[in-house]
């Protein structure tokens, strides 16, 4: 099967809910991947540029790779099952350079978080200090940079998810709220309690709300049923919303190399070999549940995205030339991505002064016609995320 990059990007935009497409099944299906929310509010921005009227409940947790993500509350039980390590090799991906602790000790860390949670809210440092003394030595080795013993960083982040801990919506520090007790495996004892509308005058996604404490998955299984390999289910979701991919890209998103892969079939995009989801029962046939990448509306004319937006996942060469990619994806302090007719055309930053949010956009003078109008509209949307109706957007040349 041969496709062009334009086919792939148009499909990706449509299936992710950009540009009015609805190939993702409605209800902003791309949230199944989670939306990175670091720095805070960038996740809300990713939701708002897709559907400004979205008011569904969202929760902020440490998800894939231990990074802050926004998720729908009802998606969290499955995410916990899929990320719960059931082999030492899988646990190793959360431990960095430290020796891998005993698999059953993951449960001890989770239990300690629930038992020793200090007060109604706790910073990451406060929670770590509360649970570290009572844990086995293999989960709290000496940390050379800190000069003290504490729970392995990646393991700590994973266990906050498994324990049902959620992050406060905003702020530079990671601050957790006390989990709310509830029935095992359920997302909320009263679904109506999580569907309050956005405050008057606010725009963007609905309230970030707490879910209940999950049943703690154990090394022998998981509450609510377990996938044979949770990574397979995660990669299938990734491929569904990203389209043709390379294994290295999926591994980078997942933060680990899966033990198994979903059924795929090769496809060529602008002459390069990538993988596309296939029918699990017949790998030579396309995924029966997925839309055809060759059948999608045109890409949006202009977008202002943050660098970890789901649209920018997958092979980077599909969305940006190398010199543009270097300006957008930096080791520290990456700017936003200006997307014109599907491709990253430059970078952008913003600042807020008084009641004005100014967007400094590379090559702004070269952005014409429908793309220019679309970028102005995007700036208005992002200003609404940051300041509701209080901020006026202004776009200038960077």
- Taking only the tens place, the pLDDT of each residue in 192-234 is 333 333 333 444 555 444 444 444 444 444 444 444 579 999 9
Mean pLDDT of all residues in 182-192 = 34
Look up residue 11 and give its two tokens: 């499909």
- Does residue 185 have a pLDDT over 50? no
Instruction: Give the pairing of strands 166-167 and 175-177.
Output: antiparallel
Distance CA 257, CA 247 (A): 9
- Nearest alpha carbon to residue 160 among 119, 208, 216, 209: 216
81-90, 283-292, 375-384: the lowest-pLDDT one: 283-292
Give the model confidence (pLDDT) of 231-275 as tens digits.
999 999 999 999 999 999 999 999 999 989 999 999 999 999 999
DSSP code for 267: E
Give the model confidence (pLDDT) of 116-151 as tens digits.
999 999 999 999 999 999 999 999 999 988 889 999
Within a 10 A sphere around the Cβ of 265, how many other Cβ atoms? 16
Residue 310 pLDDT: 98
Look up residue 386 and give its two tokens: 């940051």
Mean pLDDT of all residues in 86-109 = 95
Percent of the chain at pLDDT exceeding 90: 71
- Cα dihedral 163/168/170/173 (nearest 10): -70
Q: Which residue has the higher pLDDT, 298 or 374?
A: 374
DSSP code for 47: H
Contact 345, 319 (CB under 8 A): no
Is the omega angle on the peptide bond into residue 142 within 30 degrees of 0, that is, cis?
no
Instruction: Give the pairing of strands 59-62 and 68-71.
Output: antiparallel
Which residues lie closer than 8 Å to 31 by C-beta, 6 or more apart? 47, 58, 70, 71, 72, 75
Residue 20: band (very low, low, confident or very high) from pLDDT cuts 50, 70, 90: low
Contact 1, 270 (CB under 8 A): no
- Does residue 84 have a pLDDT over 80? yes
SS3 28: coil
- Cα dihedral 319/50/246/96 (nearest 10): 110
Give the model confidence (pLDDT) of 262-319 as tens digits.
999 999 999 999 999 987 766 667 676 666 666 678 889 999 999 999 999 999 999 9
Domain positions in the chain: 1-289, 320-397
Q: Which residue has the higher pLDDT, 357 or 295?
A: 357
Q: What is the phi/psi pair of residue 240, to 5°?
A: -65, -40
The sign one gets for the Cα dihedral 377, 379, 383, 386 is positive
283-292, 360-369, 383-392: the lowest-pLDDT one: 283-292
- Does residue 343 have a pLDDT over 70? yes
Residue for token digits 């791309």?
30
Residue for token digits 């960095």?
96
Within a 10 A sphere around the Cβ of 5, how many other Cβ atoms? 17
Distance CA 112, CA 131 (A): 6
Within a 10 A sphere around the Cβ of 190, how many other Cβ atoms? 9
Residue 292 pLDDT: 66
Residue 55: band (very low, low, confident or very high) from pLDDT cuts 50, 70, 90: confident
Instruction: Give the pairing of strands 356-361 and 392-397.
Output: parallel
């Amino acid at each position: 099967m041969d496709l062009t990059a334009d086919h792939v990007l148009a499909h990706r935009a449509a299936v992710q809910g950009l540009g009015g497409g609805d190939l993702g099944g409605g209800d902003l299906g791309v949230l199944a991947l989670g939306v990175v929310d670091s720095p805070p509010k960038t996740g809300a921005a990713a939701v708002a540029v897709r559907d400004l009227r979205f008011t569904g409940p969202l929760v902020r947790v440490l998800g894939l790779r231990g990074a802050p993500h926004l998720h729908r509350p009802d998606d969290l039980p499955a995410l916990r099952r899929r990320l719960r390590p059931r082999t030492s090799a899988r646990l190793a991906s959360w431990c960095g350079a430290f020796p891998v602790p005993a698999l059953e000790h993951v449960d001890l860390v989770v239990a300690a978080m629930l038992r020793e949670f200090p007060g109604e809210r706790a910073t990451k440092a406060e929670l770590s200090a509360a649970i570290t003394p009572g844990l086995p030595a293999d989960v709290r080795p000496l940390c050379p940079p800190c000069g003290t013993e504490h729970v392995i960083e990646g393991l700590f982040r994973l266990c906050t998810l498994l324990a049902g801990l959620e992050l406060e919506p905003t702020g530079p520090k990671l601050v957790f709220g006390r989990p709310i007790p509830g029935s095992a495996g359920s997302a909320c004892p009263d679904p109506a309690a999580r569907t309050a509308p956005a405050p008057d005058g606010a725009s963007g996604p609905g309230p970030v709300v707490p879910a209940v404490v999950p049943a703690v998955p154990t090394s022998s299984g998981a509450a609510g049923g377990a996938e044979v390999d949770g990574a397979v289910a995660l990669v299938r979701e990734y491929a569904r919303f990203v389209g043709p991919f390379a294994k290295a890209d999926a591994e980078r998103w997942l933060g680990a190399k899966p033990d198994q892969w979903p059924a795929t079939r090769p496809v060529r995009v602008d002459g390069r070999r990538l993988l596309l989801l296939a029918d699990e029962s017949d790998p030579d046939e396309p995924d029966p549940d997925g839309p055809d990448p060759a059948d999608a509306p045109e890409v949006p004319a202009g977008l202002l995205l943050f660098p970890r937006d789901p649209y920018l996942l997958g092979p980077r060469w599909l969305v940006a030339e190398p010199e543009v990619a270097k300006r957008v994806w930096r080791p520290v302090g990456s700017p936003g991505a200006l997307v014109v007719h599907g491709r990253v055309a430059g970078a952008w930053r913003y600042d807020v002064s008084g009641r004005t949010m100014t967007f400094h956009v590379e090559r702004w003078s070269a952005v014409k016609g429908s793309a220019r109008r679309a970028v102005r509209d995007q700036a208005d949307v992002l200003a609404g995320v940051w300041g509701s109706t209080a901020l006026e957007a202004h776009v200038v040349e960077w």
